[in-house]
Structure 1
Amino acid sequence: MSTQLDKRFGFLVADVDRLCGNRFDALAKSSLDLTRAQCRVLAYLSHYGEVNQARLAGLLEVAPISAGRLLDRMEESGWIKRHDDPDDRRARQVRMTAKAEKALDRARRVGDKVTAEALVGLSKQESEQLIALLQRVRGNLSRIVDR
């Protein structure tokens, strides 16, 4: 039986993610003081604002203890600040610092370069259509998974 991985949606999405991530790492080595995982933390904080640490672990798809270690390192380096959640004494809230906001602009430029490389050969209309289709797919899955 042929699996035809190159035609399987889940495989293609995961493989594009892997390739984009590897390219991001290669480009970021010379221009960022952040790892890809740390950039993802900052991207989520930029998008959602101050976030509960447990929710952030879920968004990153890592165990809470792993997220805690990552956030410990980021806090020690001045990228984030954490404080107790006033509504839940067991929870911690996470926010970006001004230092992180400046670094996030550089990380976005790296991401933009990866995107430009990935979309070579696609017209502007095709690129926009691809993004729109992926947003619809994400919306479909979000309605099911994030209930």
Structure 2
Amino acid sequence: METNLERRFGFLVADVGRLTGRRFDELSRATLDLTRAQYRALACLTHYGEINQACLADLMEVAPISAGRLLDRMEEGGWIVRRPNPADRRERMVSVTEKAEQALHAAREVGDVVTSEALNGFNAEEAEQFIGFLQRARGNLSKPALAQTQAQAQGK
């Protein structure tokens, strides 16, 4: 068993994620209006479309109460809208506003800069291959979780 943290998959992936987030925060501090957590919520909503709060909390890996507080602030700022789910009155469905779509464009530009820095020294083929490897690893780990999340999003 490998004990060197520099060669441990989980450690490296987590560390790259932490450093990526830190760099995103550094670059976005002066130009973006929302926190990284708020942008992450918007990115999930844009990717999955309108979903319920519980599903969004699950996707973001936060407690539902934390997601609720985050969404309260975002709704007050006009970034998202929440409405009752006609199929289940206990649920609130969440979707992005036009204002959020515009903000996401700016956040993606910052993300592109961070990606460029992270992949500095990779040629185009290596960068594509690396992204492909990460997608495969994510797919290997998320198959059962993805099926559950999609069922929740569809209200099953």
Aligned counterpart, 1:27: 27
The within-5 A match list for 1:52-131 is 52-131=52-131
Q: Which runs of 5+ in 2 are unaligned?
A: 148-156
SS in 2 for 1:62: coil
Aligned counterpart, 1:139: 139
CA drift at 1:143: 1.6
Between the aligned residues of both structures, percent identity stands at 65
> 1:63-122, CA deviations, whole angstroms, 9 ceiling, x for partnerless residues?
000000000000000000000111111111000000000000000000000000000000
TM-score normalized by the length of structure 2: 0.91
Aligned counterpart, 1:18: 18
Q: Establish whether residue 47 from structure 1 lines up as the match of residue 28 from structure 2.
A: no
TM-score normalized by the length of structure 1: 0.96
> 1:35-78, CA deviations, whole angstroms, 9 ceiling, x for partnerless residues?
00001011111111111110000011000000000000000000
CA drift at 1:142: 1.4
Q: Which runs of 5+ in 1 are unaligned?
A: none
> 1:1-24, CA deviations, whole angstroms, 9 ceiling, x for partnerless residues?
982111010111100000000000
RMSD: 1.3
SS in 2 for 1:55: helix
For residues 3 and 68 of structure 1, the distance between their equivalents in structure 2, rounded to whole angstroms, comes to 40
Runs of 4+ in 1 over 4 A off after TM superposition: none
